[in-house]
A and B are shown apart, each in its own frame.
Chain A
Amino acid sequence: VAAPLAVLHRVRHSNGWIFGTMLFSACLSLLASLVLSIDAVRLAADPGTALSCNINSVLSCGTVATSPQAQLFGFPNAFLGLMAEPVVITIAVAGLGGVRFPRWFMFAAQVVYTLGVIFAYWLFYQSMFHIGALCPWCLLVTVSTTLVFATLTHVNIRDNNLLLPPRAHRALTSAIDADLDATVVIIWLLGLTLVVVLKYGSLLFG
């Protein structure tokens, strides 16, 4: 039993796994952002469509045109994904190629992406409890953003990029060594799944 676990542990902490997961998740997130952006642009291009419930829209109709949540910064939220995810993809590909970025660079990436995660979860909360529509592409953004955040944090703790005091850094490093981060992410994603299933389970069998 111990041997496969040890292998799993080693693989999980390898650069290939970390940056590979980051690359894969960032690509998913980019794809979802692209779909949502195209939808937003298509609706905006036709004022009549924007003021109606469109059959093909992937979002709820009220949201697309009227809710302030849809365009928090004055443009469709999905545009943020189009801007941010290519940067993450670049970091992941460079990481796979063995590039070590300067500490300030990775620290900045962590700060910006943390804001992105907070925004993604705010949107998740809005769509679950205020907008109410089941939007598969939005869920994909939530999950892939979480995975990118987890891998980025993993790397930055491992490489001591977060400008933390030595004691905090040691504590976080040993937590990662004990695979606590993976446990937390798995629990988190399962919790997310449970919330979605509880709210929309009946739709799965509609």
Chain B
Amino acid sequence: VTAGGGAVIAVLLIAIVVSVATAARNPPADGAAAASDTPPAGATPAGALAVGDAAAPVTVELYLDYMCPFCGRFERANGAELERLVAAGTVRLELYPLSFLDRMSAGSRYSTRAANAVATVADRTPDTLLAVHAALFANQPDEGSRGLSDDDIAGLARRAGVSQQVTDAFDDRAFEGWIAGSTEEAFAGGITGTPTVKINGTVFPGDLYTVGPLTQAIGAAASR
């Protein structure tokens, strides 16, 4: 019996060593591209992707993570309203796609991959940015899962109107370094979680998960 126990222990130890070695040999993709922190074209100095009229009376800043379930709830409640207000020229929307929930995608760094896709779209074809942003939340994976694959993200983006040429550039991971940097900056600047919404620089303290309160606050800010 002791020998049998010893054998099982030996087999388990070997299996653990092998799995650790395998994991060490295939680290989650973070190539040399991540070292560069070049911002996408049109990014604000603070690290946001801006959408809409620069002269709009109200600036809405949205700090989000594509893996964050509450950001998904925020989007379901307010996404269409924000899109409408941006189109009407009332709102300039500044998106801060963060990557701190990378720890919630079982090693696949979904937050970074999704944010990089959005930043790439902002860089190449900013007109389609909001559509891709909305599509990522409409198809948001469960927190803790590996998330959407790179192919799935590219497919979503193409259905949202992004060209193949641009979706192919997702694989360059050109903005991963910039995303890591702006995530750090956001938290250093006092953001404690996502979603955080600022209206003209002030954190909106109201209900983020039902339609109405945010629209009203934006309306009030616009008429001031």
A positions within 8 Å CB-CB of B: 48-49, 51-56, 60-62, 66, 130-134, 178-180, 183-184, 186-187, 190-191, 193-194, 197-206
CA distance A197 to B71 in the complex (A): 30
Chain B positions within 8 Å of A48 at CB level: 205
**CB < 8 Å A-B pair total:** 122
Cα A183 to Cα B100 with chains together (Å): 40
A133 touches B143 (CB 8 A): yes
Cα distance A161–B16 when bound, in Å? 37
| CB contact under 8 A between A194 and B12, given known A62-B69, A133-B103 | yes
Complex-state Cα separation, A173 to B204, whole angstroms: 65
| Given A61-B101, A194-B16, 17 extra CB contacts under 8 A | A49-B192, A51-B208, A53-B65, A55-B187, A61-B193, A131-B143, A131-B144, A132-B143, A132-B144, A178-B2, A187-B8, A194-B15, A200-B106, A200-B107, A204-B24, A205-B28, A206-B107
Contact B103 A190 (CB under 8 A): no
A205 CA / B71 CA spacing, docked (Å):
28
Residues of A with C-beta under 8 A to B125? none
- Contact-size category for B: 35 or more
Contacts of B9 in A (CB 8 A): 183, 186-187, 190
Q: Which residues of A have CB within 8 Å of B103?
A: 133-134, 203
Question: In the complex, A60 Cα to B68 Cα: how many Å?
Answer: 9
Q: A197 — which chain B residues lie within 8 A by C-beta?
A: 16, 19-20, 23
Q: Which residue of B lies closest to A66 (CB)?
A: B69
The answer to whether residues A60 and B5 also contact, given A55-B100, A204-B23 and a CB cut-off of 8 A, is: no
A residues in contact with B196, CB < 8 Å: 52
Measured CB to CB, the nearest residue on chain B to A5 is B2
Q: Which of B57-99 contact A (CB under 8 A)?
A: 65, 67-71
Top-5 shortest CB links A-B: A132-B144, A201-B23, A202-B107, A183-B5, A190-B12
Neighbour of A53 across the interface among B2, B20, B27, B69, CB < 8 A: B69
Q: Is B27 a contact of A202 with CB atoms below 8 Å?
A: yes
Tell me which residues from 100 to 137 in chain B have a Cβ below 8 Å from any Cβ of chain A: 100-104, 106-107, 109
Query: In the complex, are the beta carbons of B144 and A55 less than 8 A apart?
Result: no
Does B145 sit within 8 A of A, measured CB to CB? yes
Report chain A residues within 8 Å CB of B26.
202
Query: Could you tell me which B residues sit within 8 Å of A by CB distance?
Result: 1-2, 5, 8-9, 12-13, 15-16, 19-20, 22-24, 26-28, 30, 65, 67-71, 100-104, 106-107, 109, 142-145, 187, 191-196, 205, 208-209
Contact B192 A55 (CB under 8 A): yes
- Contact yes or no, A61 B5, CB < 8 A: no
Q: Can you report 19 A-B residue pairs in the complex whose CB atoms are below 8 A from each other? A: A51-B208, A51-B209, A53-B68, A53-B71, A56-B192, A60-B143, A60-B144, A61-B101, A66-B69, A132-B104, A132-B144, A180-B5, A183-B2, A187-B9, A193-B12, A194-B12, A197-B20, A201-B23, A206-B107
Contact of A178 among B1, B16, B70, B100 (CB under 8 A): B1
Query: B5 contacts A201, CB within 8 Å?
Result: no
Q: Contact partner of A204 among B20, B142, B145, B191, CB < 8 A?
A: B20
Name the CB-closest residue of A to B187: A55
Measured CB to CB, the nearest residue on chain A to B142 is: A132
B23: contacting residue among A131, A184, A202, CB under 8 A: A202
Q: Which of A51, A178, A201, A203 contacts B19 (CB 8 A)?
A: A201
Query: A56: which B residues are within 8 A, CB to CB?
Result: 192
